[in-house]
Amino acid sequence: MCGIIGILGKGDVTDQLVAGLRRLEYRGYDSAGVCTIVDGHFDRRRAEGKLDNLAKKLAIDPLPGHIGIAHTRWATHGAPTEDNAHPHIVGDVTLVHNGIIENFKELRDELSAEGRSFASQTDTEVVAHLVARELERGKGPIEAVKAVLPRLHGAFALAMMFKGHDNLLVGARLGAPLVVGLGEGENYLGSDALALAPMTQKIAYLEEGDWAVLSREKIEIFDRDNKPVTREVTLSGVSGAMIDKGNHRHFMQKEIFEQPVVVAQTLQAYLKPLDGKVALPIPEFDLAEVKRVTIVACGTSYYAGLVAKYWFEKFARVPVDIDVASEFRYREPVLEPGGLALFISQSGETADTLAALRHCRAEGQKIAVVVNVPTSSMAREADLLLPTNAGPEIGVASTKAFTCQLAVLAAFAANLARAKGKMPADEEREIVKHLAEAPAALNAALAHDEEIEKMAPLVAAARDVLYLGRGPDYPMALEGALKLKEISYIHAEGYAAGEMKHGPIALIDDSVPVIVIAPSGPLFEKTVSNMQEVAARGGRIVLISDAAGIAKAGEGAVATIEMPDCHPLIQPLVYAVPVQLLAYHVAVAKGTDVDQPRNLAKSVTVE
């Protein structure tokens, strides 16, 4: 979603601001802007669309200034036009915002009644008006911000500058992330540490309700009660190099190919192969006491949760509820004592998932979090933090974070099973052995890249595509369909193979490719029967299976993708690769924007 960067620099800052925005591009946006202070006055450039449009404007009309704020906007209130792009300037304040001001209508009506007029349709401009009004009433910048923050409901990260104050940046956060970066004679604000990576790795993460006052010489942070607070300064460990495509054409492709390495590096933290044991951080609560697990997540992370439900129930015999986060709170879920709520998220900032986490905390659940950004809000609110060590995921479509989530969840399921006395040592040893085989199996799956690229035109020409699977391959069908639709814009549905004849079979004809995910195993024959129902109606089948499966059922398919033989436990990780590669190559064949598909944001910080 929106990206924020602010710099109090020693020299001109516009180039650094735009470079920072480029590092935030991955979050998804549809317009951008930058504002500096030149000779005590604001100077601003904004543009619709990609950053290149802003860069072109800046090339024609450069922007000097040693202090500046900049923004990539993902439209919520108002179309992605230049007028709606941030920074917004009202009187003596200019600001950028990430999030949604939920009471903006009421605030806008109040301000309109006083005769104030608006230059945009955004909720953000309302905040600028509120601050400007306080300045007009004679308050200084800091007092003005202090007066306005309590009036804002919803989620926000804000960065503000004030006319005539070229050594002052003010930031504030509630429900959307904002970090403070500490430099040498310079200081910074950013949506994340990655935005600031080449300038500084010294980062203080603002907490909920915090606001910060920055000059070049010092940083002061206040909590929501306006009490001065100290927030730990940590070394972010992220470098600009981490957001380089290397030899790959897209970040998504790079991230797909990183999977053997990042899954290995994730598993390293969770397995003790020599002891034949899984080894998770020890929680402050007793896992043996867990009576029910409630999994909540969104999108691809939710599909990882669907796979995990099979594992938790199979290994630990603990009942599992699972919900998409946007539905969870509103169905008044029953959360009994002894429940563990498990949240899965790449970013750790997804607004719905975070809100569900807080709801579960308030209902007395223990909180476990599987997250890829260890400094994220969810990570900081967990009782049991289970990081995925996938490294920064820049492509909007989640790939490597997903397989790393699966790796962690498999280890967690085994750990819970052991704690509950449901997993004998020899079974645990087997699980550890098979999980340790995952990186090699992922490598073998990646070896089919070229073959998958060759079959991309078959899918690229389609209007609709179906994905079918059973058991843990059903979530993989959902994931395959999500990957395809989000980056290639082809309509795709994932279905439980046995459910197809209850409706979607009506769609089948010779223009509909049907991707069947069916490794050999106890459910194979049943899935093949469903596949035959598709073939009988002229559907064009792409079968993803292993050698034995393809030998048995490959004949009816227009194409097959052969995965390595692997244990059922790691099949969801391995079978993620062909569905990711297929979506990737179809998108490339269609010429879509693979890394930043239209309308999508990487980190969804609004509900």
- Residues lying near ligand F6R in the complex (CB under 6 A) are found at 298-301, 345-347, 350, 353, 397-398, 482, 486, 603-604
Question: Closest approach of Cβ 478 to ligand F6R, in Å?
Answer: 11
Q: Which residue lies nearer to ligand F6R by CB, 98 or 353?
A: 353
Closest listed residue to residue 42, CA positions, set 87, 98, 99: 87
Q: Which residue lies nearer to ligand F6R by CB, 152 or 252?
A: 252
To the nearest 10°, the Cα dihedral for 584, 375, 103, 601?
Answer: -10
CA separation (Å) from 487 to 25, 308, 445, 588?
16, 25, 21, 9
CA dist 160 and 6 (Å) reads 8
Closest listed residue to residue 513, CA positions, set 555, 466, 548: 466
CA dist 183 and 203 (Å) reads 9
- Closest residue to ligand F6R, based on beta-carbon distance: 299
What are 243's two structure tokens?
């957001």
CA dist 591 and 585 (Å) reads 10
Q: Which residue lies nearer to ligand F6R by CB, 94 or 603?
A: 603
Q: Which residue lies nearer to ligand F6R by CB, 20 or 395?
A: 395
Question: Closest approach of Cβ 545 to ligand F6R, in Å?
Answer: 24
Residue 602 known to be catalytic: yes
Bridge-partner residues for 230, per DSSP? none
Q: Which residue lies nearer to ligand F6R by CB, 398 or 530?
A: 398
**Bridging pattern class, strands 292-297 and 339-345:** parallel
Do residues 493 and 504 touch, judged by C-beta distance below 8 A? yes
- Residue among 254, 400, 483, 602 flagged as catalytic: 602
Question: Closest approach of Cβ 401 to ligand F6R, in Å?
Answer: 7
What are 578's two structure tokens?
């062909």
Q: Which residue lies nearer to ligand F6R by CB, 507 or 600?
A: 600
- Residue among 2, 298, 360, 566 flagged as catalytic: 2
CA dist 603 and 2 (Å) reads 9
Q: Which residue lies nearer to ligand F6R by CB, 84 or 399?
A: 399
Q: Which residue lies nearer to ligand F6R by CB, 350 or 571?
A: 350
Burial of 424 (0-12, 13-18, 19+ CB in 10 A): exposed
CA dist 303 and 503 (Å) reads 22
Question: Closest approach of Cβ 372 to ligand F6R, in Å?
Answer: 8
Question: Which letter, b or e, does each residue of 47-76 get, where b requires 16 or more Cβ atoms within 10 Å of its Cβ?
Answer: bbebbebbbebbeeeebebbbbbbbbbbbb
Question: Closest approach of Cβ 464 to ligand F6R, in Å?
Answer: 19
CA dist 560 and 56 (Å) reads 47
CA dist 139 and 93 (Å) reads 12
Question: Closest approach of Cβ 13 to ligand F6R, in Å?
Answer: 30
Question: Closest approach of Cβ 360 to ligand F6R, in Å?
Answer: 15
Q: Which residue lies nearer to ligand F6R by CB, 160 or 356?
A: 356
Listed in sequence order, the residues at least 6 apart from 105 whose beta carbon sits closer than 8 Å to its beta carbon are: none
Q: Which residue lies nearer to ligand F6R by CB, 376 or 520?
A: 376
Residue 139 known to be catalytic: no
SS3 content of the chain, % helix, strand, coil (to 5): 40, 25, 35
Which H or E run contains 530?
A: helix 524-536
DSSP label at residue 175? B
Which H or E run contains 311?
A: helix 299-311
CA atoms within 13 Å, Cβ hemisphere of 443: 8
Burial of 500 (0-12, 13-18, 19+ CB in 10 A): buried
**Bridging pattern class, strands 366-371 and 464-469:** unpaired
Bridge-partner residues for 213, per DSSP? 170, 220
Question: Closest approach of Cβ 416 to ligand F6R, in Å?
Answer: 22
Question: Closest approach of Cβ 184 to ligand F6R, in Å?
Answer: 33
Question: Closest approach of Cβ 353 to ligand F6R, in Å?
Answer: 5
Amino acid (1-letter code) at residue 137: R
Do residues 59 and 107 touch, judged by C-beta distance below 8 A? no
Q: Which residue lies nearer to ligand F6R by CB, 493 or 546?
A: 493
Question: Closest approach of Cβ 544 to ligand F6R, in Å?
Answer: 19
Among all residues, which ones are annotated catalytic? Answer: 2, 602
